[in-house]
Amino acid sequence: MELVSMIQKANKELVEVARRSEPSVLRERSFEGLAANNWMSEVKNELSTRCPV
């Protein structure tokens, strides 16, 4: 895959993650949500499934 094409695809996937219509652990704003021990692994799992590039 060409570098420019890969960057465009990654950008499109990240825009999809930013949409508010889909729930995301990145928008969990409570202290409990952000302080949870598994928060970073949840972020990693979400990004690996929603942004595979």
**pTM of model > 0.85:** no
Render 1-53 in DSSP notation, one character per residue.
Answer: --HHHHHHHHHHHHHHHH-TTS--GGG--SHHHHH-TTHHHHHHHHHHHH---
pLDDT digits (tens, 9 = 90+) for 6-48: 999 988 888 887 777 888 887 777 888 778 888 889 888 888 8
